[in-house]
Structure 1
């Protein structure tokens, strides 16, 4: 798949709420995922660890009120999307999270992702 096709597939899966399927299909086994400095999962290495982190996030959500995923912007072997989620979390209550997500693709797989958002 091309970078554009990978980006489009990721967006489609995220919009469908099929995040784990997106990771299974599109991520390299040795992917590196980065969250903002100070986040409990600042760096996560490996597809299985990323899936575990995603499962933990999903389990922390009581209800998603609204979520959007932008169309991707592609530049050579990178692409970016904006995710905006308004959710009620089991432990902290309702919170809106808007983030920019940047992905790097190599040999037809996502080899890294990085998320930019406010921790507050």
Structure 2
């Protein structure tokens, strides 16, 4: 198994165990760029940490996450996730999302999320 596949599998396992922030600290670069669809990208680990903490802090009921498909390329991984939760501001969310990650030196340097609102 390639090192990248091992890292991606561990990251996904941490998310499934409810340890998304631990996965973030372990696998995301200090200068990571994260972007939701075509929204303005958020640059830097500190700014993205705050965004992630705010997101998870607003989930009032978490019913599940399931990685449906995983793809691996050269320094790129993609995961299609299905999520089901209730968010304090957005209400019930039950949808699929594709996360595309670019890796460098064992860390995610860029991640973009594609989903339908």
TM-score (norm 1): 0.88
Contact map agreement 1:14 1:69 (CA 8 A) in 2:
no
1:118 maps to what in 2? Answer: 116
Deviation at 1:24, TM superposition (A): 0.6
SS of the residue corresponding to residue 70 of structure 1 reads: strand
SS of the residue corresponding to residue 48 of structure 1 reads: helix
Deviation at 1:89, TM superposition (A): 1.5
Contact map agreement 1:11 1:70 (CA 8 A) in 2:
no
Size of the aligned set, in residue pairs, is 116
**Higher RCO, 1 vs 2 (CA within 8 Å, ≥6 residues apart):** 1
Note closer, same or farther for the CA distance 1:2–1:14 as it changes in structure 2 (3 Å cut): same
SS of the residue corresponding to residue 56 of structure 1 reads: helix
Choose 2-11 or 19-28, whichever is displaced more: 2-11
Matches within 5 A, 1:13-28: 13-28=14-29
- What is the rounded CA distance, in whole Å, between the counterparts of 1:29 and 1:10 in structure 2? 17
Higher strand share: 2
TM-score (norm 2): 0.90
Root-mean-square deviation (Å): 1.6
2:44 maps to what in 1? Answer: 46
- What is the rounded CA distance, in whole Å, between the counterparts of 2:81 and 2:51 in structure 1? 17
Deviation at 1:72, TM superposition (A): 2.7
Contact map agreement 2:101 2:108 (CA 8 A) in 1:
yes
Deviation at 1:25, TM superposition (A): 0.5
SS of the residue corresponding to residue 37 of structure 2 reads: coil
